[in-house]
Structure 1
């Protein structure tokens, strides 16, 4: 009789409420399509033209303000005549927002000054339109931006005028430099503009708040949480990894009569001493406050999940197959980003549609179905769905097969096959065990033997056996499970039994 075996569920590894926050689909009704067609030949081109004119007017003002600065001046906030154009550029930015269809932005709460809250923490981050926050209040905000954005023709100059905190991803010291810059600005007594950061680090579909990156919280300065909400029935704003492209979002939004957004400034969050010493705790607590106001769940997805999504797509798997809440698995299981990519490549070789069935699991291990195989499969299948997704596969390798694949287990399994204590596994001994234990036919045994026998000398040495066991750690758990079944039942139903002494 098959036993219902499951791995002990850890609350820290349960499936998230929102399994894919990086997907967005637009569903156009007949009226929506008619509206877009009409607006595309009437209002939208005019909006695009007027917005472009405002940017053209803004560029020379920004360029003049930034001209001929010394290296020392670049490290200080704009003052004097260089800052004189700030009000006009702020107004032009608001004009662009109005032209884009955001005719009435609803503001809630009280925006804090740079002295009271050096950092603005805005979420959820779902679109490039979120930069509207930069133009709210009495002065422009300084966003955290990639250094590459400073070299974008035309727009790069406008971005530099906001005096952003640039991040150099290729520089291993970039995070330390960014933290130091935020700390210095926070201790400047309000001389610098507020730093605007989107701590999620990437765009989502606003169904949840993903992990906040701790970078902006390391300085330990007060932050003001800012909640963003969009209300249009047709959501043309959301720009995710799996959804409409940037220009499509822009154009569809320009084709809306009125775009509704609400920006809520929550009370300033002053960190405790414990939070100042633990940036991740600080970030998680701020996220919890924002999630409560937004009435949405939190998940442990990160930008690393997006990278795995892209890799999954390249491997011809569904993009969502790569979503595993990487940060959580990294913390709980110690799986690195590089290991996760290796696991995904391996998963792709087994799964054909983003999930591993029992049949695919058997084919991958070159084994027929058996009770022992079903037992191991059940250990991986954490939700008892009958298939194994990539997240379950990673957890299974880490909690099931990995621990089972110890040197002692490998040594035990090798001795099991080495029936005559020759120091190597012969083809006869290999065939005898696998045919008896799993009812494999001799042809399948030959294929598996050839895979393990890397030097093709018709003998499997311990090193060859160990190398293959490390490549496929599922075998270790499989034989341990089979051994336990034999010891517990004295037989394996419908699968024959090798002499029990060989397993003792």
Structure 2
């Protein structure tokens, strides 16, 4: 198993690239750029700060008014009412655009069109500012972190647009958010389909009316021609054009009556004597309004999960793709010459914001891709759906140098955690999505990643990004012995004598895979004994000293110091042992390689083999006894044949039992036993052929026999079988 998993690790690490998209590529500040920053800091920066303050306060007041009297639970239950949307809609739409203008984005270059057909809109997240433009265009609800609620001013804005808040560390919160996303987008999608159907019906009605008007015009034209011919026959002067003007005036009032004859309207009066009705202009079809009752706004998500990279599209989260509804992708790029506004890990956030405000103009390009309608296969496979949408966005921006990478937001988490620990963050890049594709057993989450990174940083005492064998032994309190060398060689894939973070985390994943419940139970039994439910740390110290003679007392104390807080001091239960094992799979691997564990495995294997053989023999005996009874019931005419067959069946069963029970015997006896076991099988085959030939005759004879006689014969035959079996045994 370890060989197979090692091959997977080698294949996974072979395909991982060293490309790092999480880099802020701001150029070195030149003299001209410094002059521009000084001028901008003295002019546009104060003006923008003066404008941002009143604007944010005004937006806060209007958004608070739109949700006044509504609790967080009511905001989740249903969309806002009409008057609340009437306050919120212009506030968000125009307030976000003015805010973006004050941040230096006076104009935004767009390509394509925003569509109202898709219930979900997704985008990449290269900076802090693109969501303001998307709020201006769509006025959507969004999905955000629960911590946003606590941010002054911004938390109120998020509540007003009915944000779906997610606590990333809580599986229950993520599950509730997924259910709420599905409910909102499915409701909106059904409403959009109903509206599209109504629009199609309106188009059909309009087309029908147009055809009717066209047919009426054709009828009018035919009537005019007929009237002209009649007049030309009555007065030949008409052909010379003497009455042309008067005739044209009269022809303007020619209409067709229901019976097909022309009728005239004179002096604005119709044929019924009433006033001529003016044609009413057709009303424009009503567009989808955001003030409709019961309609959720479109849902907007950053598909990458958070601030990622302006240099590429990393792996998408599946929250937007699980419902399987149409999606409009939006791709955002931020061209620059000197100042890169992307908040990559390692960038100072305050200086980034100040320098952005000092720029006279910042650039933003937004590309609206066509609405992506998923196929049936993509609806059933959200991963495939997300991958195809991401590739479509990357293809659209291929000319801009933007590419799709297999990094994920977990890489961003690792980078930030390494920076907090003051560790070289470029050494911990994993490209986790590609790692998951080639190494399927690895389940990554924030806690697992940060815990492994903390252990790796503790081992890497010289902060070089790699762990040597001496550092490995020192931090884990392991001896410089053969067992430790084998474990280190297992983790060191390339065999260079040092372990990097990629090798370490894939090795830990392999060891986690081996931590089966049976393995943990067997290791726990080494300390607690068979059937024990706890053990003391003092007893564990003695057990480790007996298992590994090369361990010193200091090393044993160091290993036991890694045990966390215990409910009962100096006593570890199985649940606490299981948690410790998952945090320290290296020690469990060493314990599984001891001679005691190998002997326990052999004993367990032999016991299982014996139990399996006994179970098979018992099952065979049951099948044979059932077959014997069925043969007795069906074959009433061949008493001699049945007796021989039953005698052989009983003899065979006895021989099998005796052969299995006797542990010793000569080879000749075993050969005779095998021949006796094979002989009845041939007779059984011959008998089955004979039974098939006599099947028709037996059915006719059985219908004429009485049930009582049949039962009596069966009882006699069973008794004779018992006697034969007894004789064979004796």
What TM-score does the superposition give when structure 2 sets the normalisation length?
Answer: 0.51
Question: Counterpart of 1:332 in 2: which secondary structure?
Answer: coil
Are 1:391 and 2:393 an aligned pair?
no
Rounded to whole Å, the distance in 2 between the matches of 1:429 and 1:111 is: 68
Shift, 1:389, TM fit: 1.5
Are 1:228 and 2:332 an aligned pair?
yes
Q: Which residue of 2 is the match for residue 56 of structure 1? A: 57
Q: Which residue of 1 is the match for residue 364 of structure 2? A: 261
Change (3 A) 1:479 1:316: farther
Q: Which residue of 1 is the match for residue 706 of structure 2? A: none
Q: Contact 1:25–1:244 at 8 Å: present in 2 too?
A: no
| Partner of residue 344 from structure 1, selected from 428, 449, 453 | 453
Q: Contact 2:184–2:296 at 8 Å: present in 1 too?
A: no
Rounded to whole Å, the distance in 1 between the matches of 2:152 and 2:101 is: 24
Which stretches in structure 1 are left out of the alignment for 5+ residues?
1-5, 415-422, 432-444, 456-466, 481-504
Shift, 1:201, TM fit: 0.9
Which stretches in structure 2 are left out of the alignment for 5+ residues?
1-5, 193-287, 289-294, 527-541, 562-580, 596-730
Q: Contact 1:142–1:195 at 8 Å: present in 2 too?
A: yes
Rounded to whole Å, the distance in 1 between the matches of 2:28 and 2:305 is: 29
Change (3 A) 1:479 1:75: closer
Once the two structures are superposed, the pairs formed by residues 346-385 of structure 1 within 5 Å of their partners are 346-352=455-461, 353=463, 354-361=465-472, 363=474, 380-382=491-493
Alignment deviations for residues 81-116 of structure 1 (CA, whole Å, 9 cap, x no partner): 333342354223212212211122110112111xx1
Rounded to whole Å, the distance in 2 between the matches of 1:313 and 1:401 is: 27
Rounded to whole Å, the distance in 2 between the matches of 1:399 and 1:447 is: 29
Rounded to whole Å, the distance in 2 between the matches of 1:63 and 1:424 is: 66
Q: Which residue of 2 is the match for residue 498 of structure 1? A: none
Q: Which residue of 2 is the match for residue 163 of structure 1? A: 162
Are 1:127 and 2:127 an aligned pair?
yes
Q: Which residue of 1 is the match for residue 569 of structure 2? A: none
Larger radius of gyration: 2
Question: Counterpart of 1:177 in 2: which secondary structure?
Answer: helix
Shift, 1:270, TM fit: 0.7
Shift, 1:16, TM fit: 3.7
Q: Contact 2:415–2:426 at 8 Å: present in 1 too?
A: yes
Q: How many positions carry a matched residue from both structures?
A: 437
Q: Which residue of 2 is the match for residue 493 of structure 1? A: none
Rounded to whole Å, the distance in 1 between the matches of 2:83 and 2:8 is: 66
Rounded to whole Å, the distance in 1 between the matches of 2:362 and 2:426 is: 30
Change (3 A) 1:469 1:98: closer
Shift, 1:391, TM fit: 1.4
Q: Contact 2:108–2:365 at 8 Å: present in 1 too?
A: yes
Rounded to whole Å, the distance in 2 between the matches of 1:91 and 1:453 is: 62
Change (3 A) 1:178 1:210: same
Are 1:101 and 2:104 an aligned pair?
yes
Compare 382-391 and 277-286 and name the one that shifted more: 382-391
Change (3 A) 1:142 1:386: same
Rounded to whole Å, the distance in 2 between the matches of 1:267 and 1:142 is: 20
Rounded to whole Å, the distance in 2 between the matches of 1:449 and 1:93 is: 61
Rounded to whole Å, the distance in 1 between the matches of 2:334 and 2:183 is: 34
Q: Which residue of 2 is the match for residue 65 of structure 1? A: 66
Once the two structures are superposed, the pairs formed by residues 129-278 of structure 1 within 5 Å of their partners are 129-137=129-137, 139-169=138-168, 170=170, 171-172=172-173, 173-175=175-177, 176-189=179-192, 191-245=295-349, 247-278=350-381
Q: Which residue of 2 is the match for residue 440 of structure 1? A: none
Q: Which residue of 1 is the match for residue 389 of structure 2? A: 286
More helix by share: 2
Alignment deviations for residues 4-39 of structure 1 (CA, whole Å, 9 cap, x no partner): xx8566554545445544443644313323322332
Q: Which residue of 2 is the match for residue 460 of structure 1? A: none
Compare 302-311 and 359-368 and name the one that shifted more: 359-368
Q: Which residue of 2 is the match for residue 80 of structure 1? A: 82
Change (3 A) 1:168 1:311: closer
Change (3 A) 1:230 1:383: farther
Compare 217-226 and 283-292 and name the one that shifted more: 283-292
Once the two structures are superposed, the pairs formed by residues 363-442 of structure 1 within 5 Å of their partners are 363=474, 380-382=491-493, 387-399=498-510, 430=549
Rounded to whole Å, the distance in 2 between the matches of 1:262 and 1:56 is: 29
Rounded to whole Å, the distance in 2 between the matches of 1:135 and 1:340 is: 34
Rounded to whole Å, the distance in 2 between the matches of 1:307 and 1:282 is: 25
Rounded to whole Å, the distance in 1 between the matches of 2:99 and 2:323 is: 33
Rounded to whole Å, the distance in 2 between the matches of 1:383 and 1:257 is: 51
| Partner of residue 442 from structure 2, selected from 334, 358, 370 | 334
Shift, 1:273, TM fit: 1.7
